Amino acid sequence: MTLITEIRLRRILDSRGNPTVEADVVTESGGFGRAAAPSGASTGEYEAIELPADEAIAAAREHAVPRLVGEAYAGNQREIDTILRAADGTDDFSEIGANSAVAISMAAAKAGADVLGAPLFQHLGGAFRGENFPTPLGNVVGGGEHAADATDIQEFLSAPVGAPSVEDAVFANAAVHGAVADLLEERDLPSGKGDEGAWAPSVDDEEAFEIVDEAVSQVEDEVGFNIGFGLDVAAAEMYDAESGTYEYESAGVSRDTDEQIAYIAELVDEYDLVYVEDPLDENDYDAFADLTDEVGDQTLVCGDDLFVTNTDRLTEGIDRGAANSILIKPNQIGTLTDAFDAIELATANGYESVISHRSGETEDTTIAHLAVATDAPFIKTGAVGGERTAKLNELIRIADDAT
């Protein structure tokens, strides 16, 4: 039986050394699931609320745990997530914290899978899920909110779209990361790493484009399949609402909205970008729609801070023709059910879903299973670093039928 008999919550470390929430869910028959909440740094204005871990744990113990233990079944994800929402009583999980909610939601799904003796992707995706594996987007150079004194654009992503297998794709991204290191050394540009393990050299975006473009081409020649190039601009972080301009501080350039749209369209052409996330401010659906009109047939225009995995915001985007892709971060919305609903709505309207990590991560591998379960074309989960390779290696295991 999948009746939940115990939920334990604790503080554990995330990859930035901050406390985050881990949940254990135990069922009547001994089924067990464990999951941990990630945490963003360049968070969207409309995300569900992350509380300090100890507050989130105390609130969830008081309001959510008693409603679930002895009451809910781990196999019934919608019921569990509905209870979590009712226990919280707000729209944005500000009472029990989206960090507690998502940890419990994901741990319950894992417990449900454990009872069935099925891997999580199969429990979530069912017997008739597709046979596809997501292409991993690997962050190889970055700055913005993820590293001080580095690029303005938050993430320069390797996108091995031509890889014959998920394993080839994962290794290609690691190779691009390595090739970037060599090019930085050649240029005498010492560099540390940002929060997601990407190189964070003190260069402007133009130089980063040159370096990543060259690294991608080198590795493409080595591996013999197509590797694309993508970006997470995280433009809300550089947008100054008062002046209505995007401030590129490392280059000393300021662009108004029309100039920003033209600039991004130029980059799409010049670098054949296959993916552009958050190229415009999170409140500017119109600008997203204009850019999508211009380049949407060439590239994925993805909304992260724009949509925050929220079906209301995605509905608005669909109505207005803003973007053609959505980033899916379960902790932005608080439950797996909400994340699934966003993916379903996206798919029904021709939007591609990109399943994503956060800059603050743990060893949790749920997103790898979520991406496979939902046939997502892309997963964004870094290129190197233990909390990133946890997901990438899990993808390799899933493909190898070894979870």
Q: How far apart are CA 93 and CA 365, in angstroms?
A: 23
Q: Does 387 bind ligand PEP (CB under 6 A)?
A: no
Residue 67 assigned to a binding site = no
43's contact among ligand PEP, Mg ion, none, with CB below 5 to 8 A by partner kind, is ligand PEP
User: How many residues in the shown chain lie near Mg ion by CB under 5 A?
Assistant: 2
Q: How far is the CB of 202 from ligand PEP (least distance, A)?
A: 20
Q: Is 196 a catalytic residue?
A: yes
Is 151 near ligand PEP (CB under 6 A)? no
Residue nearest to ligand PEP (CB): 40
Nearest CA among 163, 271, 289 for reference residue 214: 271
Assess 47 for contact with Mg ion (CB under 5 A). no
Please identify, using beta-carbon distances, which residue of 68 and 147 lies nearer to ligand PEP: 147
Q: Check residue 207 for interaction with Mg ion (CB under 5 A).
A: no
Q: Which residues make beta-bridge pairs with 240?
A: 245
Answer yes or no: is 240 a known binding residue. Answer: no
Listed residue (329, 339, 338, 340) closest to 364, CA to CA: 329
What is the end-to-end Cα distance of the chain in Å, rounded? Answer: 22
**What are the residues whose beta carbons fall under 8 Å from the beta carbon of 258, sequence distance 6 or more?**
none
Check the annotation: does 304 bind a ligand: yes
H/E run at residue 78 = helix 77-88
Specify whether the CB–CB gap between 357 and 333 falls below 8 A.
no
CA torsion 34-119-360-233 (nearest 10°) is -150
Q: Is 304 in the site for Mg ion (CB under 5 A)?
A: yes
Binding status of residue 392 toward ligand PEP by CB under 6 A: no
The continuous run of DSSP H or E covering 67 comes out as helix 65-68
Task: Please say whether the beta carbons of 146 and 42 come within 8 A.
Answer: yes
Which of 50, 196, 352, 361 is the catalytic position? 196
Cα separation of 293 and 321, whole Å? 8
Q: Compute the distance between CA of residue 277 and CA of residue 326 in angstroms, rounded to an integer.
A: 9
Is 228 near ligand PEP (CB under 6 A)? no
Instruction: Rule CB under 6 A: say whether 385 interacts with ligand PEP.
Output: no
Stretch that binds Mg ion, among 103-111, 131-139, 229-237, 345-353 (CB under 5 A): 229-237
Q: Name the residue whose CB lies closest to Mg ion.
A: 304
Token pair 């691009």 is found at 176
Question: Do residues 142 and 108 touch, judged by C-beta distance below 8 A?
Answer: no
Closest to Mg ion by CB, 304 vs 338, is 304
| Binding at 359: pick from Mg ion, ligand PEP, none (beta carbon under 5-8 Å per type) | ligand PEP
**Least spacing, CB of residue 231 vs ligand PEP, in Å:** 11
> Cβ(163)–Cβ(219) under 8 Å?
no
Q: Identify the residue among 31, 40, 136, 279 touching ligand PEP (CB under 6 A).
A: 40
324 vs 356, which CB is nearer to ligand PEP?
A: 356
255 is in an annotated binding site: no
Residue 359 interacts with ligand PEP (CB under 6 A): yes or no: yes
Q: Are strands 352-356 and 325-328 parallel, antiparallel or unpaired?
A: parallel
Question: Binding of ligand PEP at residue 299 (CB under 6 A)?
Answer: no
Question: Taking CB under 6 A as the rule, does residue 105 contact ligand PEP?
Answer: no
Q: How many helices (H) and strands (E) does the chain have?
A: 14, 16
**Does 43 interact with ligand PEP (rule: CB under 6 A)?**
yes
Can residue 237 be called a binding residue for Mg ion (CB under 5 A)?
no
Catalytic residues: 196, 329
> Which residues are near Mg ion by CB under 5 A?
232, 304
> Which residues are near ligand PEP by CB under 6 A?
40-43, 232, 234, 304, 356-359
